[in-house]
């Protein structure tokens, strides 16, 4: 670099006048800036300011804005440029294999797969929402037809979120008012709109209305347990109304085909056999000779002694029994959850009771 010098005046002389000189050294690509001070007066020995690291700059020399032009700084981003630089991104699509089952109203509900995003299987979320789609399979294992005629099925299915929210399912076929014939299976996609996306593994499908025992299918964690407790034995009566009544066992469960137990209750389904031991036909009648069905004279006596009427006749008893005939049947009653010693009661036309003990029942 070309050396520059400065003259130093005496202690009593006038203050130095700053002079800024910009020198471009070839072949350097950028200019080199050197600040020196010049004062009129006699010239003294040259001083190399550029090579003196200990030199203390004068007040005039400490003004970088005058000495050199700093590198260009990009202007601050405006509101419009910020919006372009940081757009609101849509939630990333997610897929989770679930493969879990639970029982509701006598039907087996299986969540096979869950997906989330702005679009699932051609169905799009509303603006500002996220769509959660469940590939659902529903099977009817019973011999009874289950029809959601009065209460649409989709209104009984909710998505349980970690926040505690429970959005209801969208109105989409085939889960609006499906009809399940015996042994039939229906499959399709069930959709929910959520305000904020959540990991699919933290979600669960909730099944049940306000007056029903709700069951869930969590998408991760412990597997859902189908609440069925079975009991088996053989107990019989002496002939009552001309028939021998026997109980071979049954089940305690939260659901029967087409119905879900009320909160705090459960169904007891009893296997009953009626046998005509005689060689003549037996007819079940009132004292006025009117035919009677099983719902008219079969009762369950609860632990507190209350007689409970039949909730559902899953396999009806006839009113006439041929000679030596046997008839197997299924009847269900709803009783308090955790009952221990109920009994089956057969009422005679005169009002007398004949009981078969069903307890002790298996505990929950």
pLDDT per residue over 265-315, tens digit each? 999 999 999 999 999 999 999 988 899 999 999 999 999 999 999 999 999
Q: Give the whole-angstrom CA distance, residue 192 versus residue 129.
A: 10
Spell out the residues 6+ positions from residue 253 whose beta carbon is closer than 8 angstroms to its own: 103, 227, 228, 229, 261, 266, 267, 269
Contact 194, 132 (CB under 8 A): yes
Closest CA to 134 of 207, 175, 190: 190
What is the chain's pLDDT, residue by residue, as a tens digit (364 residues)? 334 334 434 434 444 444 444 444 444 444 444 444 444 444 444 444 333 444 444 444 444 444 444 444 544 444 443 333 334 566 689 999 999 999 999 999 999 999 999 999 999 999 999 999 999 999 999 999 999 998 899 999 999 999 999 999 999 999 999 999 999 999 999 999 999 889 999 999 999 998 999 999 999 999 998 889 999 999 999 999 999 999 999 999 999 999 999 999 999 999 999 999 999 999 999 988 899 999 999 999 999 999 999 999 999 999 999 999 999 999 999 999 999 999 999 999 988 999 999 999 999 9
The DSSP secondary structure of 109-151, one letter per residue, reads EEEEEEEEESEETTEEPPTT-EEEEEEEEEE--SSS-EE-SSS
The pTM of the full predicted model, rounded to 2 decimals, is 0.73
List of domains in the chain = 17-67 (no CATH), 94-218 (2.60.40.4170), 228-357 (2.60.40.1240)
């Amino acid at each position: 670099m070309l050396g520059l010098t400065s003259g130093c005046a005496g202690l009593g002389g006038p203050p130095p006048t700053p002079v800024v000189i910009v020198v471009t050294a070839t072949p350097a690509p950028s200019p080199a800036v050197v600040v020196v001070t010049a004062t009129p007066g006699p010239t003294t020995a040259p001083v190399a300011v550029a090579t003196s690291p200990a030199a203390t700059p004068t007040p005039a020399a400490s003004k970088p804005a005058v000495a050199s032009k700093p590198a260009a700084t990009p202007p601050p981003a405006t509101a419009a440029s910020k919006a372009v630089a940081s757009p609101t991104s849509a939630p990333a699509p997610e897929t989770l294999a679930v493969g879990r089952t639970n029982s509701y109203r006598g039907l087996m509900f299986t969540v096979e797969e869950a997906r989330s995003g702005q679009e699932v299987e051609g169905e799009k979320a509303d603006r500002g929402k996220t769509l959660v789609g469940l590939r659902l399979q529903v099977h009817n294992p019973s011999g009874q037809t289950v029809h959601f005629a009065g209460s649409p099925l989709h209104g009984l299915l909710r998505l349980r979120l970690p926040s505690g929210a429970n959005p209801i399912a969208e109105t989409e076929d085939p889960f609006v008012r499906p009809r399940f014939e015996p042994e039939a299976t229906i499959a399709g996609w069930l959709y929910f709109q959520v305000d904020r996306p959540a990991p699919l593994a933290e979600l669960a499908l909730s099944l049940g209305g306000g007056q029903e025992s709700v069951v869930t299918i969590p998408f991760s964690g412990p597997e859902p347990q189908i609440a069925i407790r079975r009991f088996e034995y053989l107990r019989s009566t002496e002939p009552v109304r001309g028939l021998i009544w026997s109980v071979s066992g049954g089940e305690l469960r939260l659901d029967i085909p087409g119905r879900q137990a009320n909160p705090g209750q459960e169904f007891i389904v009893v296997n009953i056999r009626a046998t005509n031991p005689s060689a003549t036909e037996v007819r079940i009648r009132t004292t006025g000779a009117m035919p009677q069905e099983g719902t008219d004279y079969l009762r369950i006596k609860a632990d507190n002694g209350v007689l409970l009427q039949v909730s559902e006749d899953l396999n009806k008893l006839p009113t006439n029994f041929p000679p030596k005939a046997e008839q197997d049947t299924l009847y269900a009653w709803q009783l308090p959850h955790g009952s221990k010693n109920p009994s089956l009661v057969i009422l005679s036309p005169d009002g007398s009771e004949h009981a078969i003990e069903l307890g002790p029942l298996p505990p929950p």
